[in-house]
Amino acid sequence: MAEPRKKTALITGILGQDGSYLGELLIRMNYRVIGTSHRADSVTEVSLAGTDVPVHPLDIGNEHQIRDIFERFQPEEIYNLASRSSSSQLFDDPVATADINGLAIVRMLEAIKNICPNTRFCQASSSEVFAKAGQSPQDETTPLRPRNAYGAAKIFAQNMVEAYRERFGLFACSAILYNHESPRRGQEYVTRKVASTAVRIAAGLTKTLTTGNLDSRRDWGFAGDYVRAMWLLLQQDTPDDYVIATGETHTVRELCQLAFSRVGLDYRDYVAVDESLARGQEQTVLCGNSSKAIVQLGWKPSISFVELVNMMVDAEKVKLAGEMTPSYK
């Protein structure tokens, strides 16, 4: 008897933190995984969960490329994780941000409508859509009010997902993701910067960590939990949007205290504050209420904040040990 055909999932931005965790999750569930990246000219495949996953070049600003790859693979599920997303990109190029984080999603929705209307689509949205909402915690009914180009573009994309869902009957969803971290986070993010620098200070390789406002609060979760939520969105009977968050906030100070204590140090002896690194006055504490996801999706975080910080610090220890191990020929 022939084996049943595997579901095909297409992940844009597969080379990022979320893409790698999602790819591994889907492979373990016996999906055929296809990845795309604007960096695919130099990376043609990536190994995830012991499987070589092809990575195809895709400029999500190019309508023809989007149509071609959707038509070629006819995926049952598409997860759009491609985005201008680091804190340094919140307002540095609003035109590019509007195109990549906003208009590109309309290009994808149009391609799905015209080429593969039965495909299920998940858009990775952001807590930044609530940055000026004036209420905390936030849920799916909270007014969408951004404070930068990144949040504004994410709102446009989220609104268009809802519009295509209602107007054309597409199975299109937005996962409103709060801050989610892991050892695979880029060095430009504060969680990875703190974990890495604490380990390097303990090893005598550097002396101080310079950061912004220590009292800034974030709702931080584990990226592996959040990609599981995105998968659950697309397994429901009806499409909808969901806030994905831990429901608790922690300060950068707490992050530093935990990271440095993990390596046997007191953060107060090593952390310097540079106000120029702060993101400005934050009008709303971004804390997500995931009750809807908990009840309807059966989702909840599996990793606590303390466990997350310890995981990231321990991973930095392993990485540094590997860098410092001499190689012999």
110 in active site: no
Query: Can you read off the two tokens belonging to residue 210?
Result: 């310079």
127 in active site: no
Beta bridge partners of 221: 180
For 69-101, letters b (16+ CB in 10 Å) and e give bbeebebbbbbbbbbbbeeebbeeeeeebbbbb
Whose tokens are 């573009």? That residue is 153
261 in active site: no
Q: What residues have CB less than 8 Å from 57, skipping those under 6 apart?
A: 36, 37, 38, 40, 41, 65
Reported in sequence order, the residue ranges of 94-219 that DSSP labels E, i.e. its strands, are 120-126, 171-177, 180-181, 209-211, 217-218
Q: Which of 20, 83, 126, 174 is catalytic?
A: 126
Q: Which of 150, 226, 267, 270 is catalytic?
A: 150
φ, ψ of residue 54 in degrees (nearest 5) = -70, 140
Distance CA 305, CA 308 (A): 5
The catalytic residues are 126, 128, 150
